[in-house]
């Protein structure tokens, strides 16, 4: 079939992405300028290079028929697991996480590219098991997610690991997995986080002992509670198998969630570093540690608030140029933008992201190929989660997890991942009317 170039490249998606990348380069440059008006970093130059190379990757991803890569999904997933395993033990440490591979100043973050592979493999599994029972599909897909999740947490990179969960939930929902199974994952995750951070909250923020929290701080008592809840869960499972009574089912369901959450909280408290756990709760009261864990949120909120409606003007931001904002070219790029362009600038970024998200939804609705349907759904979840968490983080309404603002934040791995996904979406949109038969 003759390639129709203007039909292949989705103009709306392409322009929105390029505008975000351009805005990102502009404010990466702004973040490099100090109080004397001198640029002390060439990150903006690197970002231009990353963006230029990313266009080639995006074009390649759009031109190659994504459906022909279906058979390679299992091999790619195995390769990803091997690379993540190697990175967890032999990777380079950056910002407290052993999540990078490379030489010198040049490096890549495999867990970023792993998101694409994970989406492709999970889509491959759901497409191949369309007639399999929901319970089996859910358990298997949960195991599929668990492998990269555990390897990334070992690095430990909490922010990147957290992105895999909404991808899993959205793709499961689109695959028709019952909501009670998805709710089980959500509740388990929330309870795990709560049980992990409460001891830190007690000592670092509340600074007094709470008797009921002894079950989370006394290891012997915690193991007794886990054993008791695990026993009740098993009784519930056996009761349901013998009598087929929903009463037993919901007992097993409820106590199973609590048992797993308490167990996972023990693992999380040992894997995650104290500062990472404190980040999850400091947004509640950043003033409790204004010069430590709360510094980032306080300075970010000051920067955003000082922007008012139209901002202080390009290169006129005080917080960034006086170096009050840490990681200002990556995690807190939106803070700089809001300080210098104000509420109007923030609305422009919001609008561009909304255009991309609604364009992806449009592609999903028109896609006839089941594999493409699942892949586009996973990409939608990834883009939305990156956006909502990063913006919420810099505004002080969500925990600081180190998730970059895709297309704006500095970094080749994140930018290339986003641009590859846009290329895949273009390919799905272009090929959606074609028929494809697996051999």
Q: What 8-state DSSP symbol labels residue 329?
A: T
Least confident of 215-219, 299-303, 336-340: 215-219
Residue 69 pLDDT more than 90?
Answer: no
Query: How confident is the model at residue 36, as a pLDDT?
Result: 75
CA 312 distance to own-chain centroid:
31
Q: Which residues contact 24 (CB under 8 A, 6 or more apart)?
A: 47, 333, 405, 407, 408, 409, 410
Residue 439 pLDDT more than 70?
Answer: no
Average pLDDT, the chain: 87
**430 or 356, greater pLDDT:** 356
Q: Where are the alpha helices (DSSP H) in 91-206?
A: 110-128, 134-153, 158-174, 179-200
Residue 159 pLDDT more than 90?
Answer: no
Q: Is the peptide bond before 156 cis (omega within 30 degrees of 0)?
A: yes
Query: How confident is the model at residue 1, as a pLDDT?
Result: 45
Band (436; pLDDT cuts 50, 70, 90): very low
Query: How confident is the model at residue 6, as a pLDDT?
Result: 57
Rounded distance between C-alpha atoms, residue 5 and residue 355, angstroms: 22
- Rounded to two decimals, the pTM is 0.91
Q: What 8-state DSSP symbol labels residue 201?
A: I
Q: Which residues contact 421 (CB under 8 A, 6 or more apart)?
A: 61, 116, 379, 382, 383
CA 144 distance to own-chain centroid:
16
Contacts by 88-97, CB closer than 8 A, 24 or more apart: 88/151, 88/152, 88/154, 88/155, 91/155, 95/327, 95/402, 96/273, 96/275, 96/276, 97/155, 97/156, 97/157
CA 354-358-363 angle, to 5 degrees, is 150
């Amino acid at each position: 079939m003759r390639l129709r170039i203007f039909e292949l490249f989705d103009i709306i998606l392409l322009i929105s992405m390029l505008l975000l990348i351009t805005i990102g380069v502009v404010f990466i440059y702004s973040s490099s300028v100090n109080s004397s008006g001198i640029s002390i970093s060439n990150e903006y130059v690197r970002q231009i290079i990353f963006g230029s190379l990313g266009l080639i990757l995006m074009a390649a991803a759009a031109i190659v028929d994504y459906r022909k890569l279906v058979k390679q999904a299992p091999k790619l997933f195995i390769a990803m697991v091997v690379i993540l395993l190697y990175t967890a033990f032999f990777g380079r440490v950056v910002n407290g996480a052993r999540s990078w591979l490379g030489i010198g100043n040049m490096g890549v973050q495999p867990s970023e590219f792993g998101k694409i592979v994970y989406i492709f493999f999970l889509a491959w599994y759901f497409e191949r098991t369309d007639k399999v029972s929901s319970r089996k599909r859910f358990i298997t897909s949960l195991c599929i997610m668990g492998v990269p999740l555990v390897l990334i947490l070992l690095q430990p990179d909490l922010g990147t690991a957290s992105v895999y969960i909404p991808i899993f939930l959205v793709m499961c929902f689109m695959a028709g997995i019952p909501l009670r199974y998805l709710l089980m994952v959500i509740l388990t995750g929330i309870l795990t986080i709560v049980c992990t951070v409460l001891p830190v909250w007690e000592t670092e923020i509340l600074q007094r002992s709470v008797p009921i929290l002894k079950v989370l701080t006394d290891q012997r008592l915690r193991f007794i509670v886990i054993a008791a809840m695990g026993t009740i869960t098993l009784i519930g499972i056996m009761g349901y198998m013998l009598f087929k009574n929903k009463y037993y089912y919901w007992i097993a369901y409820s106590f199973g969630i609590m048992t797993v959450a308490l167990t996972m909280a023990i693992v999380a408290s040992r894997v995650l570093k104290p500062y990472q756990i404190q980040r999850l709760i400091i947004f509640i009261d950043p003033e409790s540690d204004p010069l430590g864990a709360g510094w980032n949120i306080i300075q970010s909120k000051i920067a955003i608030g000082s922007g008012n409606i139209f901002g202080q003007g390009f290169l006129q931001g005080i917080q960034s140029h006086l170096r009050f904002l840490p990681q200002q070219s990556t995690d807190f790029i939106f803070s700089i933008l809001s300080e210098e362009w104000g509420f109007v600038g923030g609305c422009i970024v919001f609008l561009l992201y909304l255009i991309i998200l609604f364009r992806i939804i449009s592609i999903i609705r028109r896609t006839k190929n089941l594999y493409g349907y699942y892949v586009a759904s996973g990409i939608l979840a990834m883009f939305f989660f990156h956006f909502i968490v990063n913006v919420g983080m810099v505004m002080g309404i969500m925990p600081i997890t180190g998730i970059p603002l895709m297309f704006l934040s500095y970094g080749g791995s994140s930018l290339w991942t986003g641009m590859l996904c846009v290329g895949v979406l273009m390919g799905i949109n272009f090929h959606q009317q074609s028929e494809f038969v697996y051999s």
